[in-house]
Amino acid sequence: MNLVVDIGNTRVKYAVFDKKKLVIDQHSDSGLFLTMVRDLFEVYPKITHAIISSVGGHPKKEYEVLSLFCKVHLLSHESKIPFKNSYINPQTLGIDRIALATRAFYENPKGNTLVIDMGTCITYEMMNDYGEYLGGAISPGMNMRFKAMNDQTAQLPLLKVEPILDFIGNSTEKSMQSGVVNGICQELDGVINQYKDRFKFLTVILTGGDAQFFAKRLKNSIFANSKFLLEGLNYLLEYNKN
């Protein structure tokens, strides 16, 4: 069995895999890492390998703790990948984006795939039908947009997302909600259409924390999979075992 640990900007995610099958996934604050790991190994003693992915650099403490329990692979730019990476400077490519590209490669190895991750930032990852990662785009995520309006103005409040009934907001709060929610929907549909114009038979995967909120609001046909990143990390662990 494998343990996947994804250390993100706001929380730590844990996922246990039996080969390719996701058995369980959980999350916690970073301060509970040791407790979470200890509990997982008590419930799943057959875990033999783990992978750590961290967007914030080398997670020395977490690596040392996890190494007490099993063999650990720390995902980095030195890790082996199963696809051709055409990013101009591969060393600057976020490791979370590497994991998404890996999952896209295995999801559709002979097809064109666009992965959109709705997290702290919205990232777009393009894998073509030659098994080549081309790159993509990065834009502010939903909560980042709400926070920016509050931080950089004197009057606008800090809001949390709510469904909008009309794209024309008749109050400040509803106008902000429309600006963020409708703006992201228009961005997503517009970007997807750009890729569809260039790549035939494009498969679009929507993932990340805000994926379910936006999946039903898009005009384009997409596949929603909130576990896409975790699955990509598990594939990378398997690929790097030997």
Out of 96, 129, 189, 210, the active site residue is 96
Beta bridge partners of 236: none
Residue whose structure tokens are 């809001």:
159
Instruction: Give the distance, in angstroms, between the CA of residue 30 and the centroid of all CA atoms in the same chain.
Output: 18
Please check whether residue 116 is in contact with residue 103, taking contact to mean a CB–CB distance below 8 angstroms. no
Residue 10 among known ligand-binding residues = yes
Residue 97 among known ligand-binding residues = yes
∠ CA 60-72-123 to the nearest 5 degrees?
Answer: 75
Active-site annotation holds for 96: yes
Residue 95 among known ligand-binding residues = yes
Residue 120 among known ligand-binding residues = yes
d(CA 189, CA 212) in angstroms, rounded, equals 15
Residue 217 among known ligand-binding residues = no
Residue 29 among known ligand-binding residues = no
Residue 47 among known ligand-binding residues = no
Beta bridge partners of 14: 5, 26
Q: Which two tokens stand for residue 189?
A: 């549909």
**Which residues contribute to the annotated binding site for ATP?**
6-13, 120
User: Which residues are part of the catalytic machinery?
Assistant: 96
**Which residues contribute to the annotated binding site for K(+)?**
117
**Which residues contribute to the annotated binding site for substrate?**
87, 94-97, 172
**Which residues contribute to the annotated binding site?**
6-13, 87, 94-97, 117, 120, 172
